[in-house]
Chain A
Amino acid sequence: MKRMLTLVLTILLALPIAANAADLLVAQAANFMPAMQEIIPAFKTATGLEVQATYTSTGKLYAQITHGAPFDIFLAADERRPQKLFTDGLAEKSFVYAKGKIVFWSLKKEFGSAPWQEAVKNPALHKIAIANIETAPYGTAAMKALKKEHLWESVEPELVYAQSIAQTFQYAATGAADAGFCAYSSVFTTEGRKGTFTVVKEAPPVIQAACILKSSARKDTAQKFVKFLSGPEVKKIKNKYGYE
């Protein structure tokens, strides 16, 4: 037993710990993760440069950046926060890198395939997941669609609020909620394919902006990555995941 333990410990200690070899650190809003995970290897093939991304909510990344997190680029899920970083002198001018769409997604066919306005009125549908309408841009956009269709008042008691668009999808995908206002990108995941969806055309596109941070010591690399983001290769990846 003791020898076994020594052996395991030796192996563990001998394992090389991946050094922080990244050429670029990206703070990435979580909804864009499926696309980003294809963009990073494509960028590496094109330039040989290594990108490392942290995926979490825009609000958390913003709070981390204003408190000195060592990111080079911030790819947000909204326009507001990169702009605020710019006006506060913490970042270069922001630019739009993607426009996201909202879908009404459900595990149950009868909710996901009907027009969403009909589905939310269905008495068999009790709980609908939506991202936080104040902090998550996808939640705000979904709320706008509901208000535009004069459905907000009747649907509000049925809403459950998730902290991020990823958690919104989690509520719908586990069946905890009957349906959810999700990001188009989540439809392309393994779990996403198990359900049905309709595009919520009434929701304004979620304009996702990015910026290079002033504190970055690798602005040249950052510029290269920004340029790559607007290239044809990335456009194809973005379209694949439902972004414009």
Chain B
Amino acid sequence: MDFVPLILSAKLAVATTLLIPLVAAPTAYILAFGRFRGKSLIDAIVSLPMVLPPTVLGFGLLILMAPNGPLGGIWKDATGERMVFSFSGILLASLIYNLPFAVQPMRAAFEKLDIRLLENSAVLGLSASATFFRVVLPNSLPGLAAAAMLVFAHSLGEFGVILMVGGSIPGSTKVASIAIYEAVEAMRYQDALFMSLAIIPVSFLALLAINRLNGKRR
């Protein structure tokens, strides 16, 4: 059995989980505490990847990320490389795809915070960023952990979007889900089974962990 696709999937899942808070945490914060016009619009845009068929999202990203596309063009000018068919490309696709799965639990965690905590910190003279790091974050850890687990499990199982923008290049974009699909197509059912067996328990453990975290929060 070829282990490279499994390692690549793990790499993608870890990278997505580590990078997604950079975008998801501010977005969730704005959605939880912000009072402004157009909030529901932002909410809808962020949630869109969750309801779009992966092929639709993938095809859209393929056009955006192609060398002559708006996003791919900027990337090419900046790095000299092609965004589609590269690990950076599938990582970006994965981040976009996973955004709602990170934002929703984070937002829920922020909204459950006792507003008096925030008021106290304001009264005591803490700046907004200090409040975020010293009050908001420590008090919403279970929600953040749940978001991380959900994103990790989703990245492991991701298929449709990567199928579109990846190009199945061994060692760079051929992740486990693609390798499994190809094994089935090639009638190598044993390989497909073994690779699936490697992914299922990990995803299952992630879900168990999410449930425990959610249980704790209640």
Contact = CB atoms under 8 A, between A and B. Distances in A.
Interface residues on B, range: 20 to 34
A60 B183 CA distance: 11
Nearest to B165: A176
B82 interface: yes
A160 B168 contact: yes
In the complex, which of the residues B163, B174, B182 has the most CB atoms of chain A within 10 Å of its own CB atom?
A: B182
B63 A59 contact: no
A175 B168 CA distance: 17
Nearest to A80: B187
B66 interface: yes
Interface string A58-83: 01101100000000000000000000
A129 B163 CA distance: 13
Given A59-B184, A134-B186, A135-B185, A174 B168 contact: no
Contacts of A132: 168, 182, 185
Interface in A121-138: 126-127, 129, 132, 134-135
Given A174-B63, A174-B66, A60 B85 contact: no
A161 B163 CA distance: 10
B167 interface: yes
Contacts of A206: none
Nearest to B67: A175
A163 interface: yes
29 contacts: A59-B185, A60-B184, A62-B187, A63-B184, A63-B187, A127-B167, A132-B168, A132-B182, A134-B182, A135-B182, A135-B185, A160-B85, A160-B167, A162-B168, A163-B168, A167-B163, A170-B59, A170-B62, A171-B62, A171-B167, A174-B66, A175-B66, A175-B67, A175-B69, A176-B65, A176-B66, A176-B85, A176-B167, A177-B167
